[in-house]
Structure 1
Amino acid sequence: MKRPPAVAVALLVLAATASAPLGLPLPPPTVRIAYELEQRGIVYSWGGGHAASPGPSKGTCVGYQGSIKPCPAARTTGLDCSGFVRWVYALARGEDVLGPGNTDDQVRRLRKVSAARPGDLVFFGKITKRKIRTHHVGLYLGDGKMMNAPETGAVVRVDDIAHKKDFAGFYRY
């Protein structure tokens, strides 16, 4: 039996959506992109992600204090924590809104929020009205989790926010 094309398309759409839960919001583009990037197994590289354009790049050994010696960053293409969120936001927004700076530079471009939503950034360090000294950033996923490029020797991954010291707050673009 031959079906008209419109009926076949309607049946295909119905089959594809019949098991989808109704009323659940889609995650924001930043969260969807972060999960896509996590699947690539991108390695951490101190200073990685801070080339002229967002995305994996060779890192630098300037300021490196990691546990792996000698510093592998200058020969490793990857991302550090601020390079990771820079790339996610650039892909989601279509432009480099966070820029090539470090976590201190990024937090200055954002506003602090008391109630986090998936896609917000979570910073660690000390942030006061007079001084900003951050040392880590991740992308908030919800339920106390963040996607981040955590440290030398690791890949982009999901971590519990509570396991990281010096929580400084949630920030939104």
Structure 2
Amino acid sequence: MRRRLAGAMVLLLLTATASVPLSLPVPPRIVRIALEIEQRGIVYSWGGGHSEDPGPSKGTCRGYRGRVKPCPAARTRGLDCSGFTRWVYALAHGEDVLGPGNTDDHVRKMRRVKSARPGDLVFFGKITKRSVRTHHVGVYLGDGKMMNAPETGAVVRIDDIAKKDFAGFYRY
């Protein structure tokens, strides 16, 4: 009797699990890292994330044109948009693949793609064959959303991808 019961249980378990997918979709490593960073509540700092090593750092007031006056960046440890994406990509790739430059420098190290995948970078500004003038970048999460360090006074967060000034999706 016990043997029949055990056999029935095994058959029941095999039948029940046969329709379960073997692998559930797992977000790409870049997206998982971006989501982990968002949970830390890291603040925006103009020029933050551009010290020798990627990651939060004090910013700079050189070139600052933000709404908050006087410029708080030199005393604020945080990340700007390109500092955020630089850190995410460094953690995901195991090395500083984007380097300490700004959004213009970073887009030059990538290739434009027509169909975005989660983990690609979303750039804003104007990119032509002759010139690159970008002003913002974020990590594409899918479904029209991106993770970014948007502006002084904000924290790293998820936003909808704005159509205004959209320059394209880029992949490393």
TM-score (norm 1): 0.86
Q: In the alignment, does 2:134 pair up with 1:134? A: yes
Instruction: After TM superposition, give the deviation of residue 117 of structure 1 in Å.
Output: 0.1
Instruction: After TM superposition, give the deviation of residue 24 of structure 1 in Å.
Output: 3.0
Aligned position for 1:68: 68
RMSD: 1.2
Aligned position for 1:92: 92
Query: Following the alignment from structure 1 to structure 2, what is the Cα–Cα distance between the partners of residues 33 and 137?
Result: 16
Aligned position for 2:109: 109
Query: Following the alignment from structure 2 to structure 1, what is the Cα–Cα distance between the partners of residues 35 and 103?
Result: 21
Query: Following the alignment from structure 2 to structure 1, what is the Cα–Cα distance between the partners of residues 150 and 96?
Result: 22
Aligned position for 2:7: none
Instruction: After TM superposition, give the deviation of residue 80 of structure 1 in Å.
Output: 0.1
Give the number of aligned pairs: 153
Please show how residues 11-30 of structure 1 align to structure 2 within 5 Å.
Answer: 22=21, 23-30=23-30
Aligned position for 1:171: 170
Q: Deviations 1:81-137 (Å, cap 9, x if unpaired)?
A: 000000000001100000000000000000000000000000000000000000000
Instruction: After TM superposition, give the deviation of residue 165 of structure 1 in Å.
Output: 2.1
Residue segments in structure 2 that go unaligned for 5+ positions in a row:
1-16
User: What percentage of aligned pairs have identical amino acids?
Assistant: 81
Q: Deviations 1:10-41 (Å, cap 9, x if unpaired)?
A: xxxxxxxx9xx734321111000000000000
- Secondary structure at 2:118's aligned position in 1? coil
Query: Following the alignment from structure 1 to structure 2, what is the Cα–Cα distance between the partners of residues 171 and 128?
Result: 14
Aligned position for 1:118: 118
Structure 2: which amino acid aligns with 1:165?
K
Structure 2: which amino acid aligns with 1:92?
A
Query: Following the alignment from structure 1 to structure 2, what is the Cα–Cα distance between the partners of residues 120 and 24?
Result: 21
Structure 1: which amino acid aligns with 2:75?
R
- Secondary structure at 1:155's aligned position in 2? coil
Instruction: After TM superposition, give the deviation of residue 46 of structure 1 in Å.
Output: 0.1
Name the larger-Rg structure.
Answer: 2
Query: Following the alignment from structure 1 to structure 2, what is the Cα–Cα distance between the partners of residues 107 and 37?
Result: 22
Structure 1: which amino acid aligns with 2:32?
R
Residue segments in structure 1 that go unaligned for 5+ positions in a row:
1-17
Query: Following the alignment from structure 2 to structure 1, what is the Cα–Cα distance between the partners of residues 63 and 164?
Result: 20
Runs (4+) of structure 1 moved beyond 6 Å?
Answer: none
